[in-house]
């Protein structure tokens, strides 16, 4: 049985697996990561992960945008706005 990795685990520059999936343009992996987390509640895990910043102050959506992956940046920002507005 494969152990599920911690989506909040950060590397030495503060990046999680979401950052790297967003940077390489892997939208299916981005979806898998964010939608595996609760998107409702007092402080949704999904929102906490999407809002996380690396050591440079960038979010995963910023990294996706810089790498030219606008669809991923839009997905992440859309989820962030949805959760901030409706929750």
Reported as a single tens digit per residue, the pLDDT across 33-69 is 999 998 777 778 999 999 999 999 999 999 999 999 9
pLDDT at position 86, please? 66
Q: What is the band of 5 on the pLDDT scale with cuts at 50, 70, 90?
A: confident
Q: What is the band of 1 on the pLDDT scale with cuts at 50, 70, 90?
A: very low
Q: Which of 51, 43, 45 is nearest to 7 (CA)?
A: 45
Q: Evaluate whether 87 touches 44 at the Cβ level (below 8 Å).
A: yes
The long-range contacts involving 2-9, CB below 8 angstroms and separated by at least 24 positions, are 7/33, 7/36, 7/37, 7/49, 8/48, 8/49, 8/52
pTM: 0.90
């Amino acid at each position: 049985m494969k152990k599920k990795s911690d989506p909040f685990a950060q590397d030495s520059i503060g990046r999680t697996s979401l950052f790297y999936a967003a940077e390489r343009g892997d939208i299916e992996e981005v979806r898998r990561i964010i939608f595996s987390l609760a998107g409702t509640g007092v402080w949704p895990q999904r929102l906490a992960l999407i809002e996380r910043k690396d050591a440079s102050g960038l979010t995963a959506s910023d990294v996706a945008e810089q790498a030219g992956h606008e669809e991923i940046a839009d997905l992440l920002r859309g989820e962030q706005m949805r959760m901030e507005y409706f929750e």
